[in-house]
Amino acid sequence: MEASPPENQRYKHIDALLAVSVVLLKLHVLHDTWGRMQGFDAGGWIDMLHATHWFEPLPPPYLLWSSWHPPLSFLIGRLVYLVYPHEVEASQVVSTLAILVAFFALRHTMRCLGWLWTLPGLWLLYGGFSIPLIVCLAVETTYDAWVLAWFMLAFAASVSLFWHQLSPGWWKDNRFTRRLTLLGLILAAGLLNKYNGLIAFGLPFLIIAVRRGIKATLRESSAPILAALIALVVVFPFYYKHNYRVEGRWMPASMDARRAADLVVSRAERDAAPLAFIGHMLRYPRRLPRNPQEPVLDSFPHSFWLHTWTRDIWLGRQPQPSLTISCVYSGAFAVITLLGTVFFFIRRRRIPPVWRHLGWVILCIAAFQCVSALAFAWKYPMWDWRIFKTKYMSPTVFWIPYATAVGFSDDWFLARRTTWLRWFEELAFWALVAFTLINHLLPVY
């Protein structure tokens, strides 16, 4: 058994207070935005809410703007709508519930790993769920809040099952097989919510690979494969009947039907200079728009970073002083995240194993989701549709709070409890408190 980090009880009572505060702050944001529809494709979500009913046929994939998406978020919305028949407010309740589920799922994971009551653990959890994008996601009319919820639930279940080595006869352990079945159902729910739920299928394999290596991944792959098969069996009827049998594709996309002619032109331009196309997506523009709310739509780094901290101008003007704070965050955390990432690579052997392994998992998740976003843009190079939206890959942003506080997990810091280091730690903690309060009370987005 790996040792817990030193002083793992230090923030125990503070964590309880912070957890209650975050719930209240999420409810405060919900109250302040009550009935105000916001978010990309919010109108399409509302249309699908009215067109989707439990145990009734679904609209064909291209009938409505959002009917090509799987139905689970709309079905959850129907449950709230039955109790409170106001579509915008129901959608906001659904999104807030999803973010709270994601929050407590990650909190459970951190506690199981023994790092919840540490400064790095607090920054990952409370800093991550106070990032402006995540705060806004809790009150958007969208299916993307539940993308994060199902992902965090799958992450928690995968850590619980695969963080430690599997016993040789795991299939004989009723408790383990029940939890494995639960993981399969969570993966299925994610895939019934949105196509990118497929990414969570790799979590068990990633955790085993980081913890015990590639050979162990091959040796222990039977259990994750079984969980994936359970999920695929659950989702197969929907994907076959609703998608494949109707459109001839397992995962049809709206652009295939609505922008077919434009796709032919844009793909021809892409294929004429594929390396230049990739470089163009990966560039950070030399000249930025004068409006700090305007993303450079064909630049992945600029769009991703702007959407993390600042409201896209398409969603409406962001008032002052909120916009100023977002711009400060954008510049400051670009430096902090870069330095934290370099520190992680240079000092990785001086970071306690559990926290280092968790860092590798989060970093690999972020890298894979970035590659997935670029692959999607390669397939659908339609920049006016704002295909580089950070909320599509929201788990990625949790590398930011990890990198922010990774220095406080270093052996050198843990071994030296000098006065100035304690003051520095105190300053970092109160910076977290301020970050949490400002981003929910202002709010910054």
Mean pLDDT of 250-256: 89
pLDDT per residue over 25-78, tens digit each? Answer: 999 999 999 999 999 989 999 999 999 999 999 998 888 888 899 999 999 999
CB-CB contact of 142 with 72 (8 Å) = no
pLDDT per residue over 179-223, tens digit each? Answer: 999 999 999 999 999 999 999 999 999 999 999 999 999 999 999
Q: Which pair of tokens denotes residue 443?
A: 């709010």
pLDDT for residue 422: 81
When the pLDDT of each residue in the chain is averaged and rounded to a whole number, the result is: 93
pLDDT per residue over 258-304, tens digit each? Answer: 888 999 999 999 999 999 999 999 999 988 999 999 999 999 999 99
pLDDT for residue 13: 85
Whole-angstrom distance, CA of residue 230 vs CA of residue 187: 9
Put simply, whether the predicted model's pTM sits higher than 0.75 gets the answer yes
Whole-angstrom distance, CA of residue 439 vs CA of residue 445: 8
pLDDT for residue 319: 92
CB-CB contact of 197 with 147 (8 Å) = yes
pLDDT per residue over 418-430, tens digit each? Answer: 777 788 889 999 9
In sequence order, the 6+-apart residues with CB closer than 8 A to the CB of 431 are none
pLDDT for residue 167: 87
Q: Which pair of tokens denotes residue 315?
A: 């969603």
Q: HSE of 265 in the Cβ direction (CA atoms, 13 Å)?
A: 6
pLDDT for residue 225: 97
pLDDT per residue over 82-141, tens digit each? Answer: 999 999 999 999 999 999 999 999 999 999 999 999 999 999 999 999 999 999 999 999
Q: Is the dihedral of CA 307, 266, 370, 104 positive or negative?
A: positive
Cα 85–chain centre separation: 29
pLDDT per residue over 222-237, tens digit each? Answer: 999 999 999 999 999 9
Whole-angstrom distance, CA of residue 358 vs CA of residue 361: 5
pLDDT for residue 163: 96
pLDDT per residue over 366-386, tens digit each? Answer: 999 999 999 999 999 999 899
Q: Which helix (H) or strand (E) holds 6?
A: none
Residue 5 banded pLDDT, cuts 50, 70, 90: low
Angle of helix 144-162 versus helix 203-212 axis, rounded to 10: 40
pLDDT for residue 337: 97
Residue 2 banded pLDDT, cuts 50, 70, 90: low
pLDDT for residue 168: 85
Q: Tokens 């494949």 sit at which residue? A: 244
pLDDT for residue 314: 93
Q: What is the DSSP letter of 139?
A: T
pLDDT per residue over 170-181, tens digit each? Answer: 988 899 999 999
Residue 6 has pLDDT above 60, yes or no: no
Q: What is the CA radius of gyration of the chain?
A: 22
Cα 36–chain centre separation: 23
pLDDT per residue over 310-351, tens digit each? Answer: 999 999 999 999 999 999 999 999 999 999 999 999 998 899
Residue 417 banded pLDDT, cuts 50, 70, 90: low
Query: Within 10 A of 32 (CB to CB), how many other CB atoms are there?
Result: 13
Which amino acid makes up residue 271? D
Q: How far is CA 172 from CA 167, 194, 281, 433, in A?
A: 10, 33, 50, 46
Query: Within 10 A of 342 (CB to CB), how many other CB atoms are there?
Result: 11
